[in-house]
Amino acid sequence: MSDAPFLPLFPQLTPILSNVTALDFETTGVSGSKGRVIEIAAIKSAYGKIIGRFHTLVKLKGELPQKITQITGITSEDLVNAMEERTAFSILREFIGDSTVVAHNAPFDLGFLYSTYRRLKLPPAHHPFLDTLSVCRLRQPSPRSLPDMCQVYGIPLTRWHRALPDATATWHLLHRLHEESPLDDMRNKLVLNPRYGTPFWLPPLAEVLSPSPVPPSPQEVTLPHSGKFPEEDQTRP
């Protein structure tokens, strides 16, 4: 019997892709409990076909750090007439429904999601998730930021640090990774960076894997990672 991995003839039809929502937030910081979401993008698909999008700026009570404007291009003026936070997250919660949330560094986005649910006293939810960063940690050498992985897998990324382009790129990355090797066994799985140890908070359904490390690439030594926030950061809601 062959030891080659099973590759489905129609990978978009396998269960993991039957009901997914690619999610990305732009935020005021890295802490889900202290920061706030200022932009939401969610792309919902069924069996590889996009069936809905939700994208909005979110009104911010308080000052927007200048650093965030420099990173995202979002200004305080942009948020004056943005959607109210409660409205935005109520819509998002309904939009996600029972789908699997897909994000690149899922603990970051889920940390903000659950912290906001709790702070706004919205009904609790434990969304199943798939972390594309964890998959990339199993398959690719560092660096593994979203732009790095888009370059590796030939995915256009028109504008980094904005929620809709990032969510769109994450959706495409999900499918590229699944075509490479099925992801059905990666739902609710996390691969952590051993340099940072176990974070104070993990998504409720998370199961931490301990894989054999992928050898570092030469770039890891010569090209330090820079990005929206450290790709290895784990949120503490």
Token pair for residue 24? 């990305």
In the structure encoding, which two tokens stand for residue 5, read together? 């991995």
**Under 8 Å between Cβ of 150 and 173:** yes
List, in order, residues 6 or more apart from 162 with CB less than 8 Å away.
Answer: 26, 39, 41, 72, 73, 74
Q: Is the CB of residue 132 less than 8 Å from the CB of residue 103?
A: yes
Q: Which residues pair with 22 in a beta bridge?
A: 43, 102
| Cβ atoms within 10 Å, residue 54 | 19
Residues 6+ apart with CB under 8 A from 1: none
**Whose CA is closest to 44, among 67, 19, 80?**
19
42, 22 in Cβ contact below 8 A?
yes
55 catalytic, yes or no?
Answer: no
- Closest of 85, 86, 135 to residue 106, by C-alpha: 135
Q: Out of 127, 161, 175, 178, which one is annotated catalytic? A: 161
Residues with Cβ < 8 Å from 71, sequence gap 6 or more? 161, 228
Give the residue numbers annotated as catalytic, written as ranges: 161
